[in-house]
Amino acid sequence: MQYSIQQIARAAGTTSRTLRHYDSIGLVRPSRIGSNGYRYYDDRALVRLQRVLLLRELGLGLDAIGEVLRAQDAQARGGEHPATAEARVLHTHLDLLLRERGRIDAQIGSVERTIAALTRTADAALEQTEGQEDLMSENMFDGFDHTRYREEVEQRWGAEAYASSDSWWRGLGDAGRAEWRGVMEQLGRDWIAAAEGGADPAAPAGQDLARRHVEWLQGIPGTPAHQAGGDLAGYVLGLAEMYVADERFAANYGGAAGAKFVRDALRVYVEHELTV
């Protein structure tokens, strides 16, 4: 069976213009071009388009998708039957989608539990009873991990950095991830307490937090902080500025004021401990 570009665009929920762009950059080639110049696609082209759309949904850019497809094509040319190769690749995509579904389900559960806790706290306040709950619970952050920032990580530090940290994260297992989140959350609470207590970023308490923060960063594979010979000082300073500039990160430290305290403490630490 062969299908026109308009048929494929409608079925895939995309546009003819997008399909022509995919053709021009070598992602999805039509199986033939008619004498009238129209593009036609066969079943193999449809499967390849599905692979592209799946990878897009997983957050990969077009350049990265091209690299993945080229690597998979090279494996298929090693003697594997094309249909077997396509099925194997789709099984890989299915595994990724199932993991993503699990992560989203965990996020939904986490938000539902937080809403329930907030509702109970509000009810207790209205009744003037002691019923406030600690939202920083063990499962509040279920489903929320560094993969949310995949595109940003790849843009800033490269796909290899993301792949390395992602492999490390998945290899930790549930217990390891819970322990890592516990360290991160405790560090965040200590930063907030110091900032709200009016601590001096350059004083011993602020500098001890900065040291712990840098050691925490050095334990994350794939980052310049973890790589031997990497620009640790530049990386830490860049992150410090990001904490202030990006409200998503500032929220981890109690808001803009807390993020500025973290930045200032890290600046002093870098100047005295990480530069020659």
Q: What is the pLDDT of residues 194-237, one digit of tens each?
A: 998 999 999 999 999 999 999 888 877 766 666 666 678 887 88
The CATH number of the domain holding residue 176 is 1.10.490
Q: How far is CA 80 from the centre of its chain?
A: 33
The residue that leads in pLDDT, 191 or 94, is: 191
Q: Is residue 43 part of a domain?
A: yes
* Distance separating alpha carbons of residues 95 and 54, to the nearest angstrom: 12
Q: Is residue 183 part of a domain?
A: yes
Q: How would you label 52-77 residue by residue, b for 16+ Cβ within 10 Å and e otherwise? A: bbbbeebebeeebbbeebeebeeebe
Of 61, 79, 97, the last residue of a domain is 79
Q: What are the tens digits of pLDDT across the range 37-66?
A: 889 998 888 888 888 888 777 666 788 788
* Distance separating alpha carbons of residues 62 and 47, to the nearest angstrom: 17
* Distance separating alpha carbons of residues 254 and 15, to the nearest angstrom: 44
For residue 138, pLDDT beyond 60? no
For residue 267, pLDDT beyond 70? yes
Q: Is residue 45 part of a domain?
A: yes
Q: Is residue 209 part of a domain?
A: yes
Closest residue by Cα to residue 159 from 55, 242, 233: 55
Per-residue pLDDT, 268:
93
Residue 188 domain boundaries = 172-276
Closest residue by Cα to residue 28 from 15, 41, 37: 41
Torsional class of 255: left (φ above 0), alpha (ψ -120 to 50), beta (otherwise) = left
Q: What are the tens digits of pLDDT across the range 161-185?
A: 556 666 766 777 778 777 877 888 8
3-state secondary structure at position 40: strand
Domain total in the chain: 2
Q: What are the tens digits of pLDDT across the range 8-32?
A: 888 888 888 999 999 999 999 999 9
Q: Is residue 200 part of a domain?
A: yes
Q: Is residue 120 part of a domain?
A: no
Of 57, 79, 101, the last residue of a domain is 79
Q: Is residue 167 part of a domain?
A: no
Of 21, 53, 79, the last residue of a domain is 79
The CATH number of the domain holding residue 56 is 1.10.1660.10
